[in-house]
Amino acid sequence: MTGVTGLLVAIAAAAGLGLFYLSQSSHVAATGYEIQDLQARVAELRAQQQQLILQVSHARSPSVIAEAAGELGLVPLSPNAVRFAPTSTDSPD
C-alpha cells in the first residue's frame, strides 16, 4: 500500500507543479501583453505630443497672430500711444 500511496503523492505533486507552471506562464504572458499595450499607448501619446507641439508652433507664428488680430478687428498701436517711464539719470552712491 505504501507503493500506491507514494505513487499517488508523486502524481499529486506533479499535478501541483504543472498547475503552478501554467499559472506562472499565463501570468508572464498577460504581463507581456500589458507591456505591449503600454508601449503602444506611449507611442500614441508621443505622436499626440508632437502634434500639439506643431500646433503651438503654428499658433505662435507672426503671420497667424496677425491674421487672428485682423479677424478680431485689432489694429497696431500708433507710436504715440506707447509711453515709457523715464530712466533715472542719478546713480546710487
| Phi, psi dihedral angles at 23 (to 5 degrees) | -60, -45
Whether the CA torsion 30, 32, 36, 39 is positive or negative: it is positive
Which structural domain range is residue 18 located in?
2-72
93 band by pLDDT with thresholds 50, 70 and 90: low
Q: Is residue 55 part of a domain?
A: yes
Query: Which pLDDT score, from 0 to 100, does residue 34 have?
Result: 96
- What value does the mean pLDDT of the chain take? 90
Q: Is residue 89 part of a domain?
A: no
Q: Is residue 52 part of a domain?
A: yes
Grid coordinates of 4:
500506491
Residues in the chain: 93
Grid coordinates of 5:
500511496
Q: Is residue 82 part of a domain?
A: no
- Structural domain tally of the chain? 1
How far is it, in rounded angstroms, from Cα 77 to Cα 69?
Answer: 12
| Overall pTM > 0.95 | no
Confirm if 55 and 48 have CB atoms less than 8 A apart: no
Q: Which residue has the cell 499535478?
A: 15
Share of the chain above pLDDT 70, in %: 95
Q: Is residue 40 part of a domain?
A: yes
pLDDT tens per residue across span 4-32: 898 899 999 999 999 999 999 999 999 99
Q: Which residue has the cell 552712491?
A: 93
Query: Which pLDDT score, from 0 to 100, does residue 32 have?
Result: 95
1 band by pLDDT with thresholds 50, 70 and 90: low
